[in-house]
Structure 1
């Protein structure tokens, strides 16, 4: 069984991942993968009585996700990697957990579902396609609040066309999850 401190670190790291995508406006270069990105940022996560802060680095593409979660001093906490049809969560102790999708994997290991399917779009300031969503916009037409997949996404600050700070929250059977994200760097991924 994973100790509580490892779970707290994993939670904080996953939240940090979400923070990283929105700080700098991406430039789509010739030959770039328009759906792929690399981002880094900071996250604070709270799940029930547990909480913590992390840094994240996330590489996202159509067939791959690689999310590295580190502590404030750079020590590895966990890595979540998706390659086509498999997701692997590796702890700092080297334990591996596998599942068909990130939502099921994080629910079984952490007790709550990481919304990896919706996050790439939410980090771009838009709802995920082909799923119902409720959207509230600000005076500039940017999303202020988004409710999708039982997650409430609040956009607190924008850096040009992308979010710079976001809060994500969800009430679940095992308690409330709150994620605060600050997105430091975003780049469009090459093909």
Structure 2
């Protein structure tokens, strides 16, 4: 069970870092403008392969993003805090209960140290707001009409539903499905993110 919790933490942590840019030429029905300061919460389900079997982990998260850092609190489905993660341009720190914090220069290095292999993803900072860098290197802004993109690092994002499906001029994501196909260097993984309604 402890290994599963650690994997959930690091699967989620591995997608925390990343720099974002904004694009003033987005289409009218695309997501709301990118914000440097964001506070939101939601639920997370991770499906991954281990010894030929599919394992599933679930949890809750609270996300607090500023220009200087991302702070995330991860909790069990019942709300018990499992860990906190802080990512800055200089370092990534994982704190679990009364254990000594684990620190690395970045989130990919932290996952490599803890899992033994790296999850080379650095986009959740963008993804939660409906943005990504596509495989073609272009900035992608999701919309109900254009809801799928494959990122430069091989993740397929699908924006399944939106906070205000009734027609907000600038919608915000509600559910994001993320998938990566296994290769010689990475494991297959699926992540479902459901963002709680914004007040």
TM-score norm. by structure 1 comes to 0.72
State the superposition RMSD in angstroms.
3.4
Asked whether 1:155 is paired with 2:156, we answer no
Higher relative CO (Cα under 8 Å, sequence separation at least 6) belongs to 1
Asked whether 1:59 is paired with 2:58, we answer no
Q: Residue in 2 aligned with 1:20?
A: none
State which of 119, 122, 128 in structure 2 corresponds to 1:113.
119
Gaps in structure 1 of 5+ consecutive residues: 18-25
Q: Residue in 1 aligned with 2:5?
A: 6
Asked whether 1:42 is paired with 2:43, we answer yes
Q: Is the 8 A contact 1:46 1:178 kept in 2?
A: yes
Q: Residue in 1 aligned with 2:108?
A: 103
Shift of 1:78: 1.6
Q: Is the 8 A contact 1:12 1:44 kept in 2?
A: no
Q: Is the 8 A contact 2:41 2:63 kept in 1?
A: yes
Q: How many correspondences in the alignment? A: 170
Q: Is the 8 A contact 1:14 1:43 kept in 2?
A: no
Q: Is the 8 A contact 1:125 1:142 kept in 2?
A: no
Higher deviation after alignment, 2-11 or 152-161: 2-11
TM-score norm. by structure 2 comes to 0.69
Deviations 1:102-147 (A, max 9, x none): 12212332344263x3212222212249x81596977x54333343
The structure with more radius of gyration: 2
How far, CA to CA, are the matches of 1:27 and 1:141 in structure 2? 14
State which of 175, 181, 188 in structure 1 corresponds to 2:187.
175
